[in-house]
Amino acid sequence: MKRLFCISLLALSFVAFGQAAPAGAADVLKIGVVSPVSGNYGDHGALERAGMEMALKELGGTILGKKVEFVVADSETNPDTAARRVRGLIEKDGIKIFMGGVSSSVGMAIAAVAAERKVLYIATNGNSDELTSTKAVRYMFRAAPSMASLGRAAGTYAIENLGKKWYFMTHDYSWGHSGTRWARDVLKKSGGTEVGEVKFPMGTRDFSAQLLQVRNSDAEVLMITCAGFDNVALLKQLAEYRIHDKMKVVYTLQEFCDVYPLRAAEHRGYYATEVSWDENEQMKAASKKFAEMFPKAAAPVIDNGNYNGYVAMMAIAEAIEKAGSAENVEKLVTALEGMEIKKNLRDKPTYIDPRTHQFLSKVVMVEGDPKGTGTAVWKLIKTYDAVQFDMTKEENPIDLTKK
């Protein structure tokens, strides 16, 4: 199935980077969205932008009486490109609020600019440890769960239900390393055995050599951290090489939009994910609304990417209302610290940890369903509170409330 981008379907509140400002610009609140339009995470970028658009529509398109306009700049999943384009949006358009990222390395680059220029940035879909620890800055918040929460949730489920001899497959950059790190932490503390690990760079589409190593091992569990179009290729080849027949396959993070295009027989494995479209009635209703707004989206339901874009936009709107201004960044940061985001499509609000600026909600464990049809690509099997597995103060002593 061809995977389609939803960027072309977005409403008129999105404009391209570099487009001339409209008449009456003083009545417009511009928010910068630095997000991949192309590359390995192009579909994920399209989804997060669609989630932002969906939230803005629910808000009536305005905040504090100002029409909101998203100005999109393609990060190209390149940290240097992203940083340069954020600076351009600050200098040309005077933008003080930013969202986006997807890739953790891009998120770190934007965070550095946010600290330098004192603008607000919400990293919508980066999960690496560094975003809320060693690379954390006062002006950045993170909407997606940390890989500590996701990796330890996946690891805990695997240890308790699937086996204690593991092989790791790791996307070879900061995010991939984070997923393996925290799953490995669970394995070690539970007395399990690591059989081996293979790392692969971004842009890998042929996994034959890696999967032959895995298949020839005596592992009970294959623990994977991989995303994007690389992951779609891997998911197909896991079935092709019959890995599921030899061991249980577990992902520290999975995206619905990566599983959805596969053949039903390839919907196998156990996945930690940030949200499942069918976890409650609110999410089901929001998924129906999303499908109506974006019928050709890579995921026709609420997925990690659009969910985090949605919640980030709701948080920004609430912070602006609370601060009484979109111009005073210090007040916006303070407003976000400790906030409970009630418009999050869940039974409990999303809490923003004031110390780390981490959004804390849930981690969902699902099992792929090879008999499922349509959007029923997996079944929900377990839900954890993200705070249960997030980095402790001992593991991450940073305190962003201390200026």
One-letter amino acid for residue 132 of the chain: T
Q: What is the mean pLDDT of the chain?
A: 91
The string of pLDDT tens digits covering residues 212-251 is 999 999 999 999 999 888 999 999 999 999 999 999 999 9
Query: With b meaning 16 or more CB within 10 Å and e meaning fewer, what string describes 329-366?
Result: bebbbbbbbebebebbbbeeebbbbbbbbbbbbbbbbb
Query: Which CATH superfamily groups domain 148-273+362-388?
Result: Response regulator (3.40.50.2300)
| pLDDT value for 256 | 94
Q: How far apart are CA 276 and CA 255, in angstroms?
A: 9
Q: Name the class of domain 7-145+280-360.
A: alpha beta
- Contact between 375 and 257 under an 8 Å Cβ cutoff? The reply is no
* pLDDT-above-70 percentage for the chain: 93
**Three-class SS of residue 259?**
helix
Query: What's the whole-model pTM score?
Result: 0.91
The predicted-structure confidence for 75-122, as pLDDT tens digits, reads as follows: 988 899 999 999 999 999 999 999 998 888 899 999 999 999 999 999
The average pLDDT across 365-379 equals 95
Fold matches, 7-145+280-360 and 148-273+362-388: yes
| Domain parsing of the chain, residue ranges | 7-145+280-360, 148-273+362-388
Supply 313's token pair.
């936009």
Pairing of strands 350-352, 14-16: unpaired
